[in-house]
Amino acid sequence: MAATFNTYYINAENFSDATSIFTDAAMTNIAPDGTYQFNGIQRTMSGGDLGSPFFCATCCAGCSSTYIYPIPSAKNQKFTVCSSIGSLKDFAIIVKFKYTSSNSQDLGFPLGLQATYNSQVYQGVTSNRLGYLPELYIGSTNVVLPSDLAGTYSLDGLSWLPMTSSFVDSADETVTIAQSDMSSITGNPDECYMLIPKTAIADTLDVEVFSPRPTNVLPSSSGGGCDITIPCPSGLPSFRTSTTQATKILACGASLDQTAYVMRVNSSSGLPRMFDRVFIDSAGVTPLAEGYYTLVNNYSGSAAAEAWMHIVGSNGVVQAVGTCAEGLYPSLTEMISSEMRPSFIQACTYQNQSGTNLPDQQYWHNGTGDAPVNGNTIYSDVLGTTTVPDGYYQLLRSYLVIQTISGVVQPSIISCS
């Protein structure tokens, strides 16, 4: 149908911010429902209310930190969402994939997570439970083995259409998957974050989810799904830190002489936490090198002025953070876990106050490694004066469960997955 051109009036300075369209300057007569376009921005009005803006040339939706694109539990399909991210550069885009499934046994079903920006393809995500995962297909081997996933698939193409807020048919694609293309994790990846540095003026981003389903997987399986959030580009938050140090003891004596930037995974504000990623630039191009770093100690009740973080690998992933020793108070490492539960099963099924199985309590351990091990002592306070109650604790890290007696970690450390 050919477009028609008329004069209309809006109740905002910009078409993107308007909530309705009128046929008169006094804005007393609402224009008919339908799709309207101005300067390349297209919006659909229904019941007198304008929907979210999208861009005619590409059918790209506007970026948003709150809008969620629901990828259903599906088989042999490829979903594409195009997002308009603006032309400003030297920012970071952090796409969130939240694993879902219509069947609980499929939670963690392998999905291919990919993004394309400025003709460059990105893969590799950071899981809030399992850390950095470089593979294209992210999923649990308890659900599908890499050997079962390997093969060639014809995927039905589906693309997001903002005008209808739904996926519509698009070009199909054939993909060939090798065993090495899938992660070797044994738990649900849960929340996964992909960082795309926006260092060019290119103004659209394609986010793609591949959902193949091996023929030898149980017929009752509907495959895996996820929710995608594509926020608008922004600079990563900054904090002061030191140069790279070889040990936490050296880090605790080092000067805060450089600025670093954090991609938040398990922190929401303040200091970095486990599995956050840190960089030397606000666009997330160059990760900090492996080693220990000094932090300003913002932990409530701590005696020391300094804290530390430990980065492992070449992707700037924080494996642990802790407080420095001060006087009689030891250096301790933060442990994120559930509250105490009286049994292993109850620890694995822990529900936080938000009603989700996500450990969110802060404790401290005195081990020399990043994670607590047999013989370490767990404390409820940052000074290390009060041990935790006897019982079982599910760690945020890798779904591990520890048991403590008199605050001491017992030999059996088992994963819920």
pTM assigned to the model: 0.85
Report the percentage of the chain scoring pLDDT > 70: 96
Q: Where are the alpha helices (DSSP H) in 229-307?
A: 248-251
152: phi then psi, degrees, rounded to nearest 5: -110, 135
**Which of 12-16, 182-186, 293-297 is the least confident region?**
12-16
Contact 107, 101 (CB under 8 A): yes
CA distances from 204 to 78, 115, 234, 345 (A): 19, 11, 15, 46
Percentage helix, strand, coil for the chain under 3-state DSSP, each rounded to 5: 5, 40, 50
User: What are the structure tokens assigned to 333, written together?
Assistant: 């490492």
Determine the length of the chain. 417
What does residue 106 show for φ and ψ, rounded to 5 degrees?
-95, 0
What is the reported pLDDT for 68?
93
Lowest mean pLDDT among 72-76, 366-370, 406-410: 72-76
Lowest mean pLDDT among 124-133, 220-229, 264-273, 304-313: 220-229
CA dihedral (196, 197, 199, 204) in degrees, to 10, reads: 20
Q: How does DSSP assign 77-134, residue by residue?
A: EEEEEEEE--S--SEEEEEEEEEE-SSGGGTT--EEEEEEETTEEE--EEETTTEEE-
Dump pLDDT digits (tens) for 241-283: 999 999 999 999 999 999 999 999 999 999 999 999 999 999 9
Which of 28-37, 156-165, 314-323 has the highest mean predicted lDDT (pLDDT)?
Answer: 314-323
Residues 199 and 285: beta-carbon distance below 8 Å: yes
Task: Report the alpha-carbon distance of residue 398 to residue 277 in Å, rounded.
Answer: 17
HSE value, Cβ hemisphere, 13 Å, CA-based, for 211: 26
Pair type for strands 77-84 and 60-62: parallel
Sheet with 225-229, strands from edge to edge, namely 68-71, 225-229, 91-100, 191-198, 125-127, 131-133
Distance from C-alpha of 208 to C-alpha of 228, rounded to nearest angstrom: 10
Give the residue from 272, 349, 337 showing the smallest Cα distance to 310. 272
Res 128: pLDDT = 98
Q: Which residues contact 315 (CB under 8 A, 6 or more apart)?
A: 124, 126, 132, 134, 277, 287
pLDDT at 55 over 60: no
Contact 209, 70 (CB under 8 A): no
What is the pLDDT of the chain when averaged over all its residues? Answer: 92
* pLDDT digit string, tens, across residues 328-351: 999 999 999 999 999 999 999 998
Q: Give the list of residues 6+ apart from residue 228 with CB closer than 8 angstroms, or none.
A: 68, 69, 71, 81, 95, 96, 97, 98, 207, 209
For residue 366, what are the CA distances in angstroms to 273, 274, 298, 319, 387?
A: 17, 16, 19, 15, 11
Tell me the per-residue pLDDT of 167-215, one tens digit each, with 9 for 90 and over.
888 889 999 999 999 999 999 999 999 999 999 999 999 999 999 988 8
CA–CA separation, 348 and 206 (whole Å): 36
Q: Which helix (H) or strand (E) holds 228?
A: strand 225-229
Mean pLDDT value across residues 145-171: 91
365 - beta bridge partners? 333, 378
Q: How does pLDDT run across 303-313, given as a tens digit for each residue?
A: 999 999 999 99
Q: Taking the CA atoms of the chain, what radius of gyration do you get in angstroms?
A: 24
**Segments in 269-362 forming alpha helices (H):** 344-348
Residue indicated by tokens 């950095």: 132
pLDDT at position 220 is 65
- Tokens for 244? 């790279």
Would you say 370 and 310 are in contact if contact means Cβ atoms under 8 Å apart? yes
What pLDDT does residue 185 have?
96
Q: What is the pLDDT of residue 2?
A: 41
Reported confidence tier of residue 218, pLDDT bands at 50, 70, 90: low
